[in-house]
Amino acid sequence: MSNGHLFVIGATHHRTPIEVRERLSLDADGTAALRDQLAALPGLREFTVLSTCNRIEFYGVAAGPEVAEHVGGAFCRRQNFDPVEFARFRLDLRDAAALQHLVEVAAGLDSQMLGETEIFGQMKQAYAAAQAAGNTGPVLNRAFQKAFQAAKQVRTQTAITAGQVSVANVAVELAGTIFGGLSDARILLLGAGEIGEKTAKAFQSRGAASLTVASRRLERAMELATALGASALPFEQREPRLAEFDIVVCATSAPEIILPGSAVRAAMARRPARPLFLIDQALPRDIDPAVAELENVFLYNLDDLARIAEENRAAREAETLKGRAIAGEKARALWQQVAAQVTAPSSPPASEPARTSASTSVPETR
Amino acid sequence: MILPFTDRTWLWLAAALYLAGFIQGSIALFKRGRPAGGATYALILLGYLAQLAGLGLRGRAVGGCPLGNAFELYQFTAWSAITLYLVVGATFRLSLLGYFTACLASTVTLVSLLFPSWDAGQRVRIFGHNPWIELHAALAVFSYGVFALLALTSLMFLLRHFSLKSKRLGGWFSFLPSIRDLDHMGVRLLAAGAAILGFAVAVGAVHWARPETVVNLEKVFVTVAVAGAAFALLLLRLRGILLARRFAVACLILYAAALLSLVTVEPGRGRVPARPDPVAR
C-alpha cells in the first residue's frame, strides 16, 4: 500500500502574527534558492510555493508521510526559524482537505480581506512560475487549473466580492452610484493628510477626470499635488470655485466647519442640474451637515462610510458558508479525479527533468 | 394562421408572460437579492411576440391600427413601452428596468383584459381611408408608451435618490443605475415622447384643419394638453427650474395624466358596435 499524498503546509494570517510572518516571508531570491533545495528533496514529486504578505504555503505531492516534514524543515533552515516554533503556527492539510484549502484561497475565502481578488492573480503567478520551472506535474497542474475554475464559480455564485470594504473604496463606489463613470468627474481634495490622500488615490485609480488639492498650507498642497499628478488650489479659493467640482473630499484637521451651507448653496445655484458628492472624512467635521438636505447634494461623513464598509464586510461574511460549500464540493470531485495518481507508488511528474529554480515570490500588496 | 388562437387568446398569453416575468423577477430580487436579468428579458420578449401576434390579428380584423377602444389603446401603449424597453434594456443592460417594465406591462394588459366592457365597442376602419389620421393616432399612442418608460425610469430615479439620501445602498438598491444616468435617461425619454406626440398632433392638425372634418374638441384639447405638458416639463428641466426629485415626480404625474387621458379620448369617437370578422378574433 502506498503512502503517497497531496499536502499543503505553511503559515497564514489566521494563526500567525505579523511579527512571525515577517520572519517567514520570502523574497524573490530566497524563493528561488528554496525551490532549488526542494527540487532535490527525495520523494517530493511536485510542488508549488505561494508567498504573499498574509501567507507562505507549500503545495506538494509526496511519496511518503515524512516528505512534508522535510519541506517544512528545509524552509525553517533557510529562514533560520525554529522548527518547533513553526509547528505551533503551521497549517497542515492533506488530500481533499488540501484541495479544498487551495480552492478557498484562490476564491478569496481564506483572505484577511474576505473576497479580495488579488490573491487569485498571485496564485496564478506562483503556479505559472512553478510550471515553467517544471516543479508541477499532472496532479498539481490539474489541481491548480480546476481550483482557478472553481474559484471563479464561487465568485459568480456568491456575493463574497460584492460591496467595498475599505472606507476609501466605499467612497469611490458611492461616487459610481451618483455619477456612473468617473471619467468626467472633477475632484477637490481639501486637506493634505494621509486619509484624504488615500481616498484621492482611490478616485484616481478609477479614472477620475481631474484632481485638485487644497490645504491650509499651500506648500503642502503643492507637494501632494505634485506627488499625485494633480493641481493645487489656494485654500481660500475653495468656496468661490466649489461649483467647478463634482466630488469634494474633506479631510482637514480644522477645528471648525470649512464648507458652510452658504458656500454649498451658492455652488449649487451655479450648477443645479449636476449632482455634488461631498465626503467628509474629518473629525471634527469639515462640512455643514445641513447641506445634506439640499437637492442634488449627497453628503457622507466618516461614520456613514465606515458603516457601509462594515455592512459590506458582514454581507461578504454571510456568503462564506455558501462559498465554502461550493469549494468543498469542487474539492471532493477533484480529489476523485487525482486520488489514484497521488496514491500511486510511483508517479513521475510530466515534466520530470531539471526542476530549475524560478521565483514564485509575489509582490506583497495585501 | 399561426395557431388556432384568437387575438384575445394571444393577448392573454402575452399578459401571462409579462406577469411571469414580474413574478420571476420578484423571486430573484427577494430571495436571491439580485434581479433576474436575462430571464426577465426573455419572458418579456416572448410576451412581446405574443402581444404582437394578438395586435396583428386585431389589426387585420379592424382593417388598421387597433386603436378603436380603451382596451386596444391600453394594449398598444403597453406594447409601445415594451418595444422601447427591449431596445433600451438591452443597450444599457438595465435589469431592474426589466423588472419594473414587466410589472407595468402585466398590470396594464391584465387590467384591460379583465374589463370586457372596454373591448365592447370595437369598430372597423375607424380611420376611414385616411392614413394620416391613422398615423396621428398610432404615433400619439406610441408616445404614451415612451411616457410609460419615462415613468419607470423616474420611479427608479426616486428609489436611487431615496437610497442615497437615506444611505441605504445594499440589497437590490445596488442594482439601480447611477442617479445621473437615470436623470439623463429621463430627459431623453421625455424629449423623445414630447417630439413624437408633438409630431402626432401636427399630423392630426392637417386632418382637423379640413373644412369637412368634424373635430372632437375634447379629444383635441386633451391631446394638445398632454403634449403641451410634456414640452413645458422639458423646458423647465432644460432651464434648470425643475430638477432631480421634483422632475421625476412631475414625469410620473405626466404619465398618469397621459394614461387617464386615454379614457377621455376613447369615448370621443362615434361607436360602431359591429364585430365584422369573428374568425380572426
Tens of pLDDT, residue by residue, chain B (281 residues): 456 788 899 999 999 999 999 898 888 877 766 666 678 888 999 999 999 999 999 888 887 778 778 888 889 889 988 988 888 776 665 667 888 888 888 998 999 999 888 887 666 666 666 677 778 888 888 898 889 889 999 999 999 999 999 998 877 787 888 999 899 989 999 999 999 999 988 888 877 767 666 667 777 888 889 999 999 999 999 998 999 999 999 999 999 988 888 766 654 444 434 343 333 33
Q: Reading across the β-sheet that carries A276-280, which strands appear in turn?
A: A231-234, A210-215, A186-190, A247-250, A276-280, A297-301
Counting the structural domains of chain B, the total is 2
B1 and B22 fall within a common domain: yes
Q: Point out the residue among A177, A272, A304 whose CB comes nearest to the CB of B240.
A: A272
Residue type, B218: E
B205, B122 Cβ separation under 8 angstroms: no
Nearest Cα residue to A109 out of A328, A344, A289: A328
Provide the CA A296 distance to its chain's centre, in angstroms: 34
- Quote the percentage of chain A above a pLDDT of 90: 58
Residue A1: pLDDT over 60:
no
**Same structural domain for residues B84 and B18?**
yes
Q: Higher pLDDT residue, B29 or A253?
A: A253
Q: What is the pLDDT of residue B128?
A: 62
A180 chain-B contacts, CB cut-off 8 A: 177-178, 180-181
What amino acid occupies position A61?
A: V
Provide, as residue numbers in chain B, all residues whose Cβ is less than 8 Å from the Cβ of A162: 174
* Nearest-by-Cβ selection for B178 from A179, A295, A315: A179
- What is the spatial distance between Cα A37 and Cα A226, in angstroms, rounded to a whole number? 46
What's the confidence (pLDDT) of residue B270? 41
Please report, for chain A, the start and end positions of each structural domain, with discontinuous segments joined by +: 5-162+314-343, 167-309
pTM value is 0.72
Range of the domain at B29: 1-126
Partner A contacted by B177 (CB < 8 A): yes
In a domain, B275, yes or no: no
Does A167-309 match A5-162+314-343 at the fold level? no
Beta strands in chain A (DSSP E): 5-12, 44-52, 55-62, 91-94, 186-190, 210-215, 231-234, 247-250, 276-280, 297-301
* Beta carbons of B179 and A174 less than 8 Å apart: no
Q: What Å distances lie between residue A326 and A123, A150, A332, A335, CA to CA?
A: 19, 8, 10, 14
For residue B65, give the CATH number of its domain.
1.20.120
pLDDT of residue A362: 39
Question: Do B144 and B266 belong to one domain?
Answer: yes
Q: Read off the pLDDT of residues A204-245 as tens digits, 9 standing for 90 and up.
A: 988 898 999 999 888 899 999 999 999 999 999 999 999 999
Confidence category of residue A271, pLDDT binned at 50, 70, 90: very high
- Assess if residue B277 is contained within a domain: no
Q: Same domain for B116 and B11? A: yes
Which CATH superfamily groups domain A167-309?
NAD(P)-binding Rossmann-like Domain (3.40.50.720)
Question: Does residue B182 share a domain with residue B92?
Answer: no
State the DSSP string of B92-138. HT-HHHHHHHHHHHHHHHHHHHH-GGGGTT--SSTTTT-HHHHHHHH
Query: In degrees, to the nearest 5, what angle opens at C-alpha B71 toward C-alphas B65 and B76?
Result: 45
Q: Which of B126, B142, B175 is the last residue of a domain?
A: B126
B254 and B147 in a common domain? yes
Residue B18 lies in a domain: yes
CB contact under 8 A, A163 and B177: no
DSSP A125-143: HHHHHHHHTT---HHHHHH
| Residue range A4-20, pLDDT digits in tens | 899 999 999 988 988 88
Which residues on B lie below 8 Å from A312 (Cβ)?
Answer: 170
Across chain A, what does the average pLDDT equal? 88
Q: Are B155 and B265 in the same domain?
A: yes
Please list every residue in chain B whose beta carbon sits closer than 8 Å to the beta carbon of residue A304. Answer: 167
B165 and A292: CB-CB below 8 Å? yes
Does B170 reach chain A within 8 Å, measured CB to CB? yes
| A312 interface with B at CB cutoff 8 Å | yes
- The whole-number average pLDDT for the span A35-61 is 92
Residue A20: in which H helix or E strand, if any? helix A18-24
Distance from CA of residue A33 to its chain's centroid? 27
What pLDDT score does A357 carry? 37
Which set of grid coordinates corresponds to residue B182? 437615470
My answer on whether B120 and B168 are in the same domain is no
Compare B81 and A247 and report the one with higher pLDDT.
Answer: A247
A180 and B243 within 8 Å at the Cβ level: the answer is no
Query: Which domain-ending residue is among B70, B103, B126?
Result: B126
B/e letters for B199-235, b = 16+ CB within 10 Å, e = fewer, are bbbebbeebbeeeeeeebeebbebbeebbebbbebbe
In a domain, B188, yes or no: yes
CB of B164 within 8 Å of a chain A CB? The answer is yes
Choose which CATH entry (3.20.20.330, 3.40.50.720, 3.30.460.30, 3.30.379.10) describes domain A5-162+314-343. 3.30.460.30
Quick check: is B279 in a domain? no
How far away is chain A from the Cα of B231, in angstroms, using its nearest Cα? 18
Question: Is there a single domain that holds both residue B115 and residue B148?
Answer: no
Under 8 Å between Cβ of A295 and B243:
yes
A277 touches chain B (CB under 8 A): no
B56 shares its domain with B137: no
ipTM of the complex as predicted: 0.73
Which pLDDT score, from 0 to 100, does residue B265 have?
61
The domain boundary residue, chosen from B126, B145, B174 = B126
* B258 in the same domain as B182: yes
Residue A361 has pLDDT above 50, yes or no: no
Q: Are residues B254 and B133 in the same domain?
A: yes
